Structure 1
């Protein structure tokens, strides 16, 4: 009985109309629109969860049937890795910590009666065994490049004739009674399913140094999509997604060129990526979109509880953008002044590994 009462309280609190909408707006106002008019319903996004599984399966098929043949055409080999000498003690230590400290290595050396350098070499080769092949990374990047390109082109196509893409005040006029068109729904469901697929595939994809940061990024994105859809902020939400997808296209394209060893193309795409990232995420996003959500909506609607949450999530994303751009600039500076980059310290600017756009892609000054 207590659990039921607690669940009822939580449900009431979550779906409180004063949390989601401005004054004098209720769920009933959106549940019964005029004939021929559709408003978003929170339950619509439930279908995106099984769709996320379908997206993941589609990705596996794409990588196998499209990306791998492309990798073969470009002569991207899987590579043959050296295998370590089987050793139960070292294998157990490796699964506990892949890069043990010096003291631990010395202990293992004494236990096995091995030379310290031999133990260090075993761990180095063992780590190499677990690193993904160039073909694997190529296939993953090709999938992301295809999705980001397709969804960006689709979004620009359906928004191009909309007044709110050119004048953001239209995002708030007559809010929340703004009819949802089918193209908006498709855009939202596709993005929502894709980011859910990234959320759970992150645990089986290429191991990232910035796993936690990317987890926060995916979670913030999913929350933004959910909240903006539930309270019909589709226009501002579509702009946010479109701005983010633009730079991702060039990032994944630069990776593809890197894996295919087209150095000059990789350098050019990395420069384009840096410029597009700066323009979209450090100029357009804060000074056009966040400004509209913070100030224009305040002026037209006034703040309410969900408004504060949505703006907080947008600001979290902006902090991540600043951090990622700092890492991008570090790569550019190393490329210019050192002539090479030994490791890629970016957070993949959304998905980093130890060598995404590495020394092969930045040996020449940018």
Structure 2
């Protein structure tokens, strides 16, 4: 008999059985994933972290991550308004123009080829010139205009940078204020005394949730923002940060987590300030801010981070609490961050070297694309110039 010919009551019973099996399977997988032997030290259970009415203590709950999603949406909306009504007028006041780049003339043949290759070589340019009855320098000029058309304007970069500077500076001050009287800021051993039964106060709660919301918003807005040369590395960084924040929150590793956040926030606003100065052509101020940034980055992320944070998670945790498996999980992500720190410091060294060997206004931002000059005059060996400058002009 066909299954669709069964009575409604029988179909209803079958659906309930399937549903109950799915619920059972989900509960089993959930229990295995959040098994106490993996996430918690020996002889501790999740019952320790259950919130009890009237206890005066609050421990992390899964539903709090939904609050972070709401914060991410709110931050993104606030960012759009802040960029439009605060940073953009400030940029205009500083002399920046909000002009859009010149558009390339409509040409279906070249537009189709542009979709395949944005920077054609000399042989291809000759072929395109014959197919379109244009001169070679006209074809070159069309491709330069078309590439510049896809590149973000200085004002676009300025507004994005202005938002990040405001956030990083604000959250650094807030985090420092919140953590100043906390014992684990000065002695990382306090990250493990009494672990995992660490209740969180309101200030620490919002510090963590706001940071998680911000990096969630960055992870998705990165696809809409100005694309950098380290797009992939930055996306990995955001995934690592969101994963670390989420799992450390649910596992109540908040004390170590706040140390990681504070160390990261120390340097970020300095580089954003240096970029703002560069965009408004305040080169001396840009050099000073970048020098401060380079020193702070090296001290915090390549010295303090491994000596304080990794030492706390690798050594002090074992000394005070003993080993449990989730430490490997967290330390893996923390070590990935250290690798990314090292990679980005190599970029910082490149910029510093360029600053010492060139005039400051000639120094390129190694992470972003720059605009190509467009002239009606023919250029000598333009294709060769494109190849030589490829690393400074490519985007994404």
Compute the TM-score of the two structures, normalised by the length of structure 1: 0.90
Query: Could you say which residue in structure 2 is the equivalent of 1:364?
Result: none
Bigger mean CA deviation after superposition, 9-18 or 22-31: 9-18
Counterpart position of 1:19: 38
Number of paired residues?
350
1:353 and 2:353 matched: no
Displacement after TM superposition at 1:259 (Å): 1.1
Corresponding residue number in structure 2 for 1:258: 278
1:248/1:119 CA distance change after superposition, 3 Å: same
Please name the residue that 2:160 is paired with: 140
Change (3 A) 1:101 1:197: farther
Distance across 1 between alignment mates of 2:67 and 2:276: 32
1:152-163 superposed matches below 5 A: 152-163=172-183
Whole-Å Cα distance in 1 between the matches of residues 28 and 230 of structure 2? Answer: 37
Q: Which residue of 2 aligns with 1:98?
A: 118
1:272 to 276, 286, 292: 292
Gaps of 5+ in 1: 346-351, 357-366
Q: CA, structure 1 residues 42+19, in 2 after alignment: closer, same or farther (shift >3 Å)? A: farther
Offset of 1:134 from its aligned partner? 1.4
Query: Are the counterparts in 1 of residues 83 and 163 from structure 2 also a CA contact under 8 Å?
Result: yes
- Kindly state the Cα deviation for residue 220 of structure 1 after the two structures are TM-superposed: 0.4
Aligned equivalent of 1:343: 364
The Cα offsets for residues 46-93 of structure 1, whole Å up to 9 and x where unpaired, read as: 211122111100000001111111112111112352221101232233
Q: Does 1:208 align with 2:228?
A: yes
By how many angstroms is 1:17 displaced?
2.0
**Residues in 2 aligned to 1:289 and 1:167: alpha-carbon distance in whole angstroms:** 11
User: Who wins on radius of gyration, i.e. which is larger?
Assistant: 2
Deviations 1:199-236 (A, max 9, x none): 11011111222211111000000011011111111111
Gaps (5+ residues) in structure 2?
1-17, 372-396
Corresponding residue of 1:363: none
Q: SS of the counterpart of 1:42? A: coil
Aligned residue for 1:253, secondary structure, equals helix
1:112 Cα shift? 2.6
Residue pair 2:172, 2:265 contacting (<8 A) in 1 also = yes
In 2, Cα distance between equivalents of 1:25 and 1:102:
69
Moved more, 114-123 or 155-164: 114-123
Distance 2:125 2:45 in 1: 64
1:211/1:101 Cα in 2 relative to 1: closer, same or farther (>3 Å)? farther
- Residues 300/55 of structure 1: CA separation in 2 closer, same or farther (3 Å cut): same
Partner Cα separation in structure 1 for residue 82 and residue 42 of structure 2: 47
